[in-house]
Amino acid sequence: MLELAIGIILGCCALGAGLAMIAGIGPGIGEGNAVAKACEAIGRQPESRSQVTTTMLMGCAVAETTGLYALIIAIFLIFVVPGRFVRLLVENIH
Amino acid sequence: MKGKKTFRAVDIILLSMVFLPILAGIALKVLYVPAPEGIDVTGAFIFFTAELGFASIPITEAQVNSWLVIISVFFLCLYLTHGIRAGVSTRRQLAAEWAVEKCEGLISENMGEHFSGFAPFIAAVMVLSALSSLMSLFGLFPPTSDLNVAAGWAILVFILITYYKMKCGPVNYLKSFAQPVPFLTPLNVISEVATPVSMAFRHFGNILSGTVVSALVAAGLQGLSHALLGWLPGKLGEIPFLQIGLPAVLSVYFDLFSSVLQAFIFAMLTMLYVAGAFDYETYSKRKEKKSNKSVTYGG
């Protein structure tokens, strides 16, 4: 019974982490758009290359935030949460 | 001739003090931190817990390593600026001048003239952040992959933002939450709090994801080389040959590029947020009003 419970916890944490990382789609598309537009801008005005690159990197970093939230949740779900829950379960049973 | 010799000795001492903290960090890690078994992301290792009666403060690897970085940066600055003289251009002096000029240019470009005093702070944040993340190149625990460190810096930035918003008067500060309509106040409060949270998580998440991906790839390659080359006789079969090469390529992105980029982005966001928080027009108007008042009262 305990094994089953631990198995369910571990499996659900892994599933949750996988589902959380679906959020990676958003920043991927967003950053792709940003870089595409930056390329267009550099193609149009090659002399403004450094400024466009700086602004693009900043924009990318900000657009990345939602993906990073998901990543942190996924990392917590994989490395932190199962240990805590399993410990709680074992303590409550004994 | 003799003067020149002592000059050199000082240089050598300063330069060695730049690298000694890193060696000390490696020695501490080798002596005290147990090797991880398999894939294990456990956060910073706790060296010891300081009992202060009312609270117990754990002294972690992240704290120790960030202090080592601080010492290292301190001696790097001393080395670069030692023996600086007007008119004489040694290589070091040019490097130091280049760094200062670049930083001041960045500040005046992004924050305006009013914030020219911010150059040392921004440079300190940038160098500390970059070198903290680059600690992973030496196999040490990068302090920035501990949320506490990144959150501490983000809280510092939040205090600065609030300070510069308060400069236009506490009433104006409170009023700014009810903009553009009072109905949006809760959302404004949330977005105010979201600034340091997102800054901390961005920095922490980027560095931590690099660490995790590197650990996963290293473990995977170890397993793969055991499966493929395990038939080699004796000790030869235990050496993970496939780990040669690929982790280094990943390290160039995750350790070098990502670290420096995140340091730059953190400093850049600090500049933009702080400069954006300060409303110069309202500030000068208020100052004018105040000085007028004091004149009329005084007269």
CB nearest B201 (choices: A57, A62, A72): A72
Output the pTM of the full model.
0.84
B138 touches chain A (CB under 8 A): no
Chain B residues touching residue A79 (CB < 8 angstroms): 40-42
pLDDT greater than 60 at residue B80: yes
H-type alpha helices, chain B:
2-32, 61-81, 91-110, 119-134, 147-166, 170-175, 185-229, 246-251, 258-277, 280-298
The residue of A53, A55, A71, A76 whose CB has the most chain B CBs within 10 angstroms, and thus the best one to mutate to test that interface, is A71
Band of residue B183 on the pLDDT scale cut at 50, 70, 90: confident
B247 touches chain A (CB under 8 A): no
Which phi-psi region, left, alpha or beta, contains residue B139 (left: φ > 0; alpha: ψ -120 to 50)? left
Contact B258, B142 (CB under 8 A): no
Band of residue B11 on the pLDDT scale cut at 50, 70, 90: confident
pLDDT score at B72: 93
Longest distance between any two alpha carbons in chain A, whole Å: 71
Distance from CA of A43 to the nearest CA of B (A): 24
Nearest CA in chain B to A60: B265
Nearest CA in chain B to A58: B265
Contact B209 A71 (CB under 8 A): yes
CB nearest A57 (choices: B209, B212, B261): B261
Nearest CA in chain A to B200: A65
Contact B202, B270 (CB under 8 A): no
Distance from CA of A64 to the nearest CA of B (A): 8
Q: B104-156 pLDDT, tens per residue?
A: 988 888 888 888 888 899 999 999 999 999 988 888 888 998 888 999 999 99
**How many Å apart are CA A18 and CA A10, to the nearest integer?**
12
Average pLDDT over all residues of chain A = 89
Contact B41 A75 (CB under 8 A): yes
Band of residue B5 on the pLDDT scale cut at 50, 70, 90: low
B177 touches chain A (CB under 8 A): no
H-type alpha helices, chain A:
2-20, 25-44, 49-63, 65-75, 81-93
Distance from CA of A20 to the nearest CA of B (A): 14
Q: Which of B149, B138, B10, B15 is nearest to B72 (CA)?
A: B15
**How many Å apart are CA A61 and CA B260, to the nearest integer?**
13
Band of residue A47 on the pLDDT scale cut at 50, 70, 90: very high
Contact B52, B170 (CB under 8 A): no
Instruction: Supply the ipTM of this predicted assembly.
Output: 0.79
**How many Å apart are CA B259 and CA B65, to the nearest integer?**
16
Distance from CA of A65 to the nearest CA of B (A): 6
Q: Which of B59, B61, B78, B86 is nearest to B16 (CA)?
A: B78
Which residue reads 């390529």 in tokens? B249
Q: Which residues contact B26 (CB under 8 A, 6 or more apart)?
A: B138, B139, B140
pLDDT greater than 90 at residue B286: no
Contact B265 A61 (CB under 8 A): yes
Of chain B, the percentage scoring pLDDT greater than 70 comes to: 93
Could you tell me how far CA B171 lies from the centroid of its own chain? Answer: 34
The residue of B199, B212, B260, B266 whose CB has the most chain A CBs within 10 angstroms, and thus the best one to mutate to test that interface, is B212
Q: Using omega within 30 degrees of 0 as the cis cutoff, is the peptide bond preceding B180 cis? A: yes
Average pLDDT over all residues of chain B = 84
H-type alpha helices, B176-257:
185-229, 246-251
**How many Å apart are CA B210 and CA A68, to the nearest integer?**
12
| A43-52: average pLDDT | 91
**How many Å apart are CA A80 and CA B180, to the nearest integer?**
41
Distance from CA of B205 to the nearest CA of A (A): 6
A64 touches chain B (CB under 8 A): yes
Chain B residues touching residue A58 (CB < 8 angstroms): 265, 268-269, 272
Contact B243, B221 (CB under 8 A): yes
pLDDT score at B299: 44
B132 touches chain A (CB under 8 A): no
Contact B201 A69 (CB under 8 A): yes
| A75-83: average pLDDT | 85
Return the CATH number of the domain spanning residue range A24-93. Answer: 1.20.20.10
pLDDT score at A41: 94
**How many Å apart are CA A66 and CA A62, to the nearest integer?**
8
pLDDT greater than 60 at residue B248: yes
